[in-house]
Structure 1
Amino acid sequence: MNNNIKNDISSQIWNMKYRYHAKDGSPLDKTVEDTWRRVARGLSSFERDRDHWENEFLECLKDFKFLPGGRITANAGTGRKQVTMFNCYVLNKIEDSLEGIFATIHNAAMTQKQGGGIGMNFSTIRPKGAYIKGVQANASGPISYMRVFDATCKTIMSAGQRRGAQMGVLSCSHPDIEEFIDAKRDGKSLKMFNLSVAITNSFVEAVKEDKNWDLVFESKIYKTVRARDLWNKIMHSTYNYAEPGFILIDRINEMNNLSYCEDIRATNPCGEQPLPPFGACLLGSVNLTRFVKNPFENNAVIDFNSITKTVTTAVRMLDNTVDISNYPLTSQRDEALSKRRMGIGITGLADALIFMQIRYGTPESTKIAAEIMKTICHAAYRASIELAKEKGAFQLLDREKFVNSKFVSQLPEDIREGILKHGIRNSHLTSIAPTGTISLFAGNVSSGLEPVFALSYTRKVRVGDETETVEQEVCDYAYQKYREISGNTDSNSLPDYFATTDTVSPKEHVDMQAALQPFIDSSISKTINVPTDLPFDKFKDIYMYAYDSKLKGCTTFRPNEKMQGILVRKEEKKEEEKTKLDN
């Protein structure tokens, strides 16, 4: 095994997810360096100076400095013609007819067949019990059709053993919203879906002012509820069942760079990419653990110049992917080529803070995180302007409207002037994904912007179909490095900057996301992990605090007897085994 993958789970992830194999199963990527070289070669294939850009891309990828989305690492430079390099999509607006619904199911199946996850908004489907004149019968409602999507997803094993993922969204004003909130309570229904409520500003204000709230479809009021009762129903559900999440749909559209030509009603399955109909998200993450000089020393600093250089190369690399990738549907290809969206984000933030001896959640940590994300954002926009000079701007760019959009209008003057003069290659450039698998691949660095889950823990890893998993013991990257450098292997005598998710308060979770949001033109996938014993009275205001903090959305997770995640702390595992023995 190569020298760059030094633990079992990273090696396993590489071999199972990203290593290129021949038809007979023999590995064509002999080492992880071969994987990087394959990806660099594949993504530079359309360049005039291929050799130069292959080497530039390779340098960007080496040592896991930049982690493209998993679909890219798995498929770039291979002979696979019928797979997509885009991780996730949002499907078409669903027409309220049997033909329209099943046309969307077809689109879902074709997308999942190639390895894409999908997001859908079901608010356009008439509510349960509504009268259908054409057949003189009552409608079964959106939840019933979601079950058909769910069943379809279960039967399609995505390319490269990637199981299908779906986001189901329903408006907070839809008459079936209460049924939607409860839809997964039995633990069996809609297992292929994440659920989120599309929350409007007017609903939040109705909650704050304790007003009534109309549940409406096509201007007809089906029911009126107390806004706070509906809000509390959402809160109780996410407290006990981790769903639904919430998407602040008005804020998403207000802050959208392309608000002048598109309307967004859904996100990809993890929420980091709000997308229009047939939109696709192309993702990549800067691995911040590779940009800390002098880790664990008092003079530890972030290498901002190297981050800027890496991001500049990464923008070109992902932009090339738009042209190289296959698309499940022609409409998806047209959408991607006309806007050239991408989402460059971060992973390893918590580990980088540990390297700098800064506790996650403190004001100092949010300040440095914001500075990092600002650097990435500005570098990405400047790189995209330079690409526009060379290769042309994206097709649907209206320079005046784009520059005057709420997000872009807050960027530095040189960026705004550059767009007006030269255009810009990509409509959107920043997003923070959960990065679970690619972070494992990179040595189990902390995922995305999340705190370290635990210093060591057991992770369930799928090895075959959705029912086959194995448990792997995993050690956090920064903790492992600390043990190597200090010789201290006692996890009970660590400096206080070794914060884990169970020691980070809900407010600190939100504050970190809020610090980064001003530099994210798409959105952020964030799970606020809270301890099992957190009282509901302390939990219930998290979403309102997130709204007031100007986020675009978030989710929560509280492990309990009804809900268990794919990550299990060692102490939780021991307690579970003790309970079994006691019983």
Structure 2
Amino acid sequence: MVVEKVMKRDGRIVPFDESRIRWAIQRAMWEVGVRDDELLDRIVKDVIDRINELYDGEVPHIENIQDIVELELMRNGLFEVAKAYILYRKKKAEIREEKRKILNKEKLDEIDKRFSINALRVLTSRYLIRNEEGKVIESPKELFERVATLAAIPDLLYDERVFSKEGGYAQDLKKVEYYLQNFEEFAGVYSIGRFRLNKYHFERMINLYKELAEKGKMKVSIDEFLGMLEHGEFEKYEEVVEEYFNLMVNQVFMPNTPALINSGRPLGMLSACFVVPIEDDMESIMKAAHDVAIIQKMGGGTGINFSKLRPEGDLVGTTTGAASGPVSFMHLIDAVSDVIKQGGVRRGANMGILEVWHPDIEKFIHAKEQNVGTNVLSNFNISVGLWRDFWEALKEGKKYPLINPRTGKKVKEIDPKSLFEELAYMAWAKADPGVVFFDVINKRNVLEPAKGEKIRATNPCGEEPLYDYESCNLASINLAKFVKYDDEGKPYFDWNEYANVIMKVAKYLDNAIDVNKFPLPEIDYHTKLTRRIGVGMMGLADALFKLGIPYNSKEGYDFMRKATEYLTFYAYRYSVEAAKQRGPFPLYKLSKYPEGELPIEGYYHKEIWNLPWDDLVKEIKEYGVRNAMVTTCPPTGSVSMIADTSSGIEPIFALVYKKSVTVGEFYYVDPVFEAELKKRGLYTDELLQRISDNYGSVQGLEEIPEDMQRVFVTAMDIHWLDHLLAQASIQLWLTDSASKTINMPNDATVEDVKAAYLLAHALGCKGVTVYRDGSLSVQVYSVEGEKKKRVPAKPSEYAKRILKEIVESESWLKKFVNVEAIIDGTNGKGLPIFSLNNHKGTLNPTKSEIDERKIKELLGIAYCPVCYEHGGEVVELRMESGCSTCPKCGWSKCVIS
């Protein structure tokens, strides 16, 4: 008889899967450079025959099957392959043991096994529930069940048996208030199929019923609804919970960090991004400080535009004194953030914006120009808000007026070129400030007539422009999961499956708005006026590796554009269907959507369409759209670590790097790269060391074939011009913005930064963060001087062509952008570094000065506070997706990730 079942290590009986045996043997063969499909087929057949012979229809244990594989490999004389298989088996046993220690469990379940050791470490450090003694009391399976269960609750309330889009139903809400006041008594009483509602699920469900009932949209009373739930009339929604659960545990998508932490828990806040208003009076300033404290206490990050505050030295009418100015109040907010250590390890994250016309703009640009290690404004990313009039002044060489926001009068005029120099210099020296292009952000802003004003602020990482008191829920889809292989082993991208998942994730985020416990009533109100969601991407670098496409190539940019076009098109496709069933966002009729406008630049370039946008717009005009904005690309830090994939839309930082652990050192290798090395018979410890010593790059290594060097590029192998093109390619089809770092080498010049800003604006980016390697505080001193010189990145041929086209079409850019110098790598080289009148040399401390300072003074600037506070390990941060991020634990200044 044929064996049909197998017993797993945890005692479960599962179907026998021949493909798992084939893959294990193939991997062992690749390990020793054997690539012979006929031999592989024969060995697999021998193994299956021997299993059937020995067990004759009985159920073997998985260990027995592995013993048979070893034996058959040796019987066929494949002793090196058998050795590789035995070593792999031993390694798997060690991994299982390590996972048990991390999770503090005797037995691992199937979900535990799906995640890498690194992913489980991240989950246990920040996401799984702990008891008062600090011990983990939740498994990854339980985490994803509570997240998925909460996300499906709105489906019950919008069921056509209980919900009316048109409204007109009156319900007595006294019993609803009873349930809300006594929600703790109903823990585990109700369920959606096999998924039990905990007390926080129940409270959010009753709260949503109340909200819909107050609008007259509930056809049944609360007791009738609960009776239906108790009698299993919503059992079909078990499939919805199961679907969300499977998408997460299979690492296909992940919600933003607050949703993973807070779903089905007391805080209940699922959003990551907020904007808080601040007006020019003390009551508003203190209200903003209060709002920031509440939002950050619950795990969110805040953006604030300080431009309405009167400048330093201006008149204060009530006291006839002098105003202290916007920068001083930034320090106030920074101090508030500093005392709110979220969960004891996460610092508050803020975006501070000052618009370029403000009289204090020069002081703002230099706000972070302090001695290394002083922690000044460490809880802030700062950005200068630029408008079209500034670009016009720069273009025409005219003086630019600075305006007092209190009086609306001109205070003085400045040379825009000098200000632009200062801005570029500080970004070159300190990686702050960044720039936000408000003219581009508002160019396609379909909400402007509904809101009566332009957008003037973003979240901490800049990818989510928001109105005052708006918030946004974000989630990222793992692109690498959609790379499949045909019968001949050739990779392809499954666009149909990708489209289906996009719609499911859009629904997840739309549902999250309804069960979100917002930190302030103002945020609840304004968020639900627009119902903004942010479907995003991660795993881009890994997907391109699998497809054999270089990140910095025309083919790479074409893929990015298509992936983002699908992202937005199918997020809208869900949103239109939801509008039919649940109604459009409340401000829809006042927006530009009914006129057929969309907030995406790509829509206005029909020659690049891959999808039927005209048909979609017709539907939007007829039925409305549920969500005012639908896509963004956030940083994914620890979220991508949980998904075991590359971060956000960034290239990877290193293909190989050395990691130190308590038992010694080992090399971390990008999994896709590792598989390719083994497939080609190139994998050796000696080669890994060579790559690690080459800054984690394969560029210039003769052992690595040219085609692999072309495809497997790291962030620093890619020229900053190609980084810009990647961001612009993705921005073209997003409703909101993208968080990305424009990496530059340490020897990049201020001229490079200036050119990057001008080209980013010309390419249609909504903002840009430039990072020169080594400018993040003390990072420069950690680079080993003995290592070989890094192979310099060069612009791709495609990037050169685009650069020339831009400068030819905007001839004034020639005053600032030296095309040939950028191409040949001499841009600004040999010129004296721009020096400011008030620059006192504080940016270049000596090595001994830094050694004298305590490590704690550097936390939040250059080193990871989580790794330091949990074991005293000093781990350098790196710039990724526009934010300082820890490569070990995924901690980021951006709370989203």
TM-score over 0.5 (shorter chain)? yes
> What aligned pairs does 1:155-554 form with structure 2 within 5 A after superposition?
155-159=339-343, 161-186=345-370, 187=372, 188=374, 189-218=376-405, 219-262=408-451, 263-294=454-485, 299-398=490-589, 401-403=592-594, 404-407=596-599, 410=604, 412-443=613-644, 445-457=645-657, 474-483=668-677, 485-489=679-683, 490=687, 491=691, 492=701, 493-494=703-704, 495-496=708-709, 497-554=711-768
Distance in 2 (CA, whole Å) between partners of 1:542 and 1:241 is 16
Alignment partner, residue 266 of structure 2: 81
How big is the shift at 1:483? 4.1
Cα pair distance change 1:141/1:545, threshold 3 Å: same
- Deviation per residue, 1:531-559 (Å, 9 max, x gap): 10123333331000000001111101112
Seen in structure 2, the aligned counterparts of structure 1 residues 198 and 287 have a Cα distance that, compared at 3 Å, is: same
Q: Which residue matches 2:290?
A: 106
Q: Which structure has the greater CA radius of gyration?
A: 2
Q: Report the more deviating stretch, 342-351 or 408-417.
A: 408-417
Equivalent position amino acid for 1:35 in 2: L
Counterpart contact for 1:254–1:406, Cα < 8 Å: no
Aligned to 1:132: 316
Give, in angstroms, the shift of residue 195 of structure 1: 0.3
Per the alignment, in what secondary structure is the counterpart of residue 528 of structure 1? strand
Q: Deviations over 1:182-240 (max 9, x none)?
A: 00111432111000000101101211222211111132222211111111111111011
How far, CA to CA, are the matches of 2:329 and 2:442 in structure 1? 27
What amino acid maps onto 1:426 in structure 2? N
Distance in structure 2 (CA, Å) of the matches to 1:456 and 1:236: 32
Per the TM alignment, residue 149 of structure 1 is displaced from its structure 2 partner at its CA by: 0.6
Out of 5, 9, 12, the position equivalent to 2:121 is 12
- Deviation string 1:346-382 (CA, Å, 9 cap, x unpaired) is 1111111111111111111000111111111111100
What whole-Å deviation, never above 9, does each CA across 1:250-300 have from its counterpart, x for those lacking one?
2212222312223311100000100000011211111011111139x8831
Question: Contact 1:428 / 1:522 at 8 angstroms: preserved in 2?
Answer: yes
Q: Secondary structure at the match of 1:541?
A: helix
Residues 60 and 313 of structure 1 are in contact (CA less than 8 Å); yes or no, is this contact kept in structure 2?
A: no
Give the conservation status (yes or no) of the 8 Å contact 2:351–2:380. yes
Distance 2:635 2:748 in 1: 24
User: Residue 392 of structure 1: CA displacement?
Assistant: 1.6
TM-aligned CA distance change 1:204 to 1:477, over 3 Å? farther
CA contact (8 A) 1:458 1:567 kept: no
Amino acid at match of 1:523: S
User: Which one-letter code corresponds to 1:240 in the other structure?
Assistant: A
Q: CA–CA distance in 2 between the matches of 1:124 and 1:150?
A: 18
* Equivalent AA in structure 2 for residue 156 of structure 1: I
Aligned partner letter, 1:221:
K
Structure 1 residue aligned with 2:6: none
- What SS class does the counterpart of residue 261 from structure 1 fall into? helix
Partner-residue secondary structure (3-state), 1:266: coil
TM-superposed CA distance for 1:478, in Å, is 2.7
Residues of 2 paired with 1:167 and 1:400: CA distance? 27
CA RMSD of aligned residues (A): 2.8
Distance 1:446 1:280 in 2: 26
Q: Quick one: structure 1 residues 460 and 271, their matched pair in 2 at CA, closer, same or farther if it must change by over 3 Å?
A: farther
Which residue does the alignment assign to 1:123? 307
Specify whether residues 217 and 39 from structure 1 end up closer, same or farther in structure 2 by C-alpha distance, changes over 3 A only: same
* Residue matched to 1:37: 145
More strand by share: 1
SS across alignment from 2:537: strand
Write the letter of the residue equivalent to 1:504: I
- Does the CA contact (< 8 Å) of 2:740 and 2:769 recur in 1? yes
Q: Report the Cα offset of residue 62 of structure 1.
A: 3.0
- Which of 232-241 and 481-490 deviates more? 481-490
Given that 2:352 and 2:381 are in contact with CA atoms closer than 8 Å, whether structure 1 keeps it comes out as yes
Indicate if the aligned counterparts of 2:428 and 2:749 stay in contact, CA closer than 8 A.
Answer: no
Match of 1:3 among 109, 113, 117: 113
TM-score for the superposition, normalised by structure 2: 0.60
Distance 2:274 2:344 in 1: 17
CA contact (8 A) 2:399 2:415 kept: yes
CA contact (8 A) 1:457 1:570 kept: no
Aligned to 1:468: none
Is 1:46 aligned to residue 240 of structure 2? Answer: no
Give yes or no for contact 1:210–1:227 (8 Å, CA) kept in 2: yes
Alpha-carbon distance change, 459 to 319 in structure 1, aligned in 2, over 3 angstroms: farther
SS in 2 for 1:157: coil
Q: TM-score, normalised by structure 1?
A: 0.91
Residues 406, 63 of structure 1: alpha-carbon distance in 2 compared, 3 angstrom cutoff: closer
Partner of 2:48: none
Distance 1:437 1:517, change over 3 A: same
* Alignment partner of 1:56 is 2:243: yes
Percent identical pairs in the alignment equals 32
Give, as a single letter, the amino acid of the residue that structure 1 aligns with 2:597: S
State the SS of the aligned residue for 1:214. strand
Contact 1:88 1:280 in 2 (8 A): yes
1:405-437: per-residue Cα shift (whole Å, max 9, x none)? 352664811211111222111111000001111
Could you say which residue in structure 2 is the equivalent of 1:465?
none
Preserved CA contact (<8 Å) 1:86 1:325: yes
Return the offset for 1:488: 2.9
Unmatched runs of 5 consecutive residues or more in structure 1: 462-470
Structure 1 counterpart SS, 2:627: coil
Counterparts of 1:21 and 1:355, CA distance in 2:
38
Contact 1:256/1:521 (<8 A) preserved: no
1:91 to 253, 267, 276: 276
For the residue of structure 2 that corresponds to 1:286, the secondary structure is strand
- 1:460–1:567: 8 Å Cα contact kept in structure 2? no
* Count of aligned positions: 563
Q: Which moved more, 1:193-202 or 1:298-307?
A: 298-307
